[in-house]
Amino acid sequence: MKNHFPANELKCPCCGELVFAPSFKFKLNKARALAGVPFIITSGYRCLEYNRSKKIGSSDTSSHPKGFAIDISVTSSSMRYKILHALIITGFSRIGIGNNFIHVDDDPGKPIGVVWVY
């Protein structure tokens, strides 16, 4: 399967570290191929320091530092639909919807079958 996500798109902008579960990356590539639209990653892996920084201000329970989450930019409602559809078909069951992004994670330590809005 084609890798749609070069390391520079997924690595932590703070330290350059890159940690992703192989199963997460496999499903992500499968969803990207199915969606037929680019997945522009706005946030991939985050080290704990970057995750806690004022720029991000995310919770210590975030799935990003565990290598189980990304945020994908969306620029239209049709793009949002295509990405959501592909993520669900591929088996992702933890999805957050923002005005201009979709958060998707596959964190095994969190509840499944949930969709939330920001």
**The domain containing residue 52 runs over which residues?**
7-117
Domain contains 12:
yes
Domain contains 88:
yes
Structurally, the chain folds into a number of domains equal to 1
Q: Which burial class, exposed, middle or buried, applies to 13 when counting CB atoms under 10 A from its CB (0-12, 13-18, 19+)?
A: middle
101, 71 in Cβ contact below 8 A? yes
Domain contains 50:
yes
Domain contains 2:
no
Tens-binned pLDDT, residue by residue, of the chain (118 aa)? 577 787 788 999 999 999 998 899 999 999 999 999 999 999 999 999 899 887 787 788 899 999 999 999 999 999 999 999 999 999 999 999 999 999 999 999 999 999 999 9
Q: Which CATH number goes with the domain that contains 65?
A: 3.30.1380.10
Helix count (H) and strand count (E) of the chain?
4, 5
pTM strictly above 0.85? yes
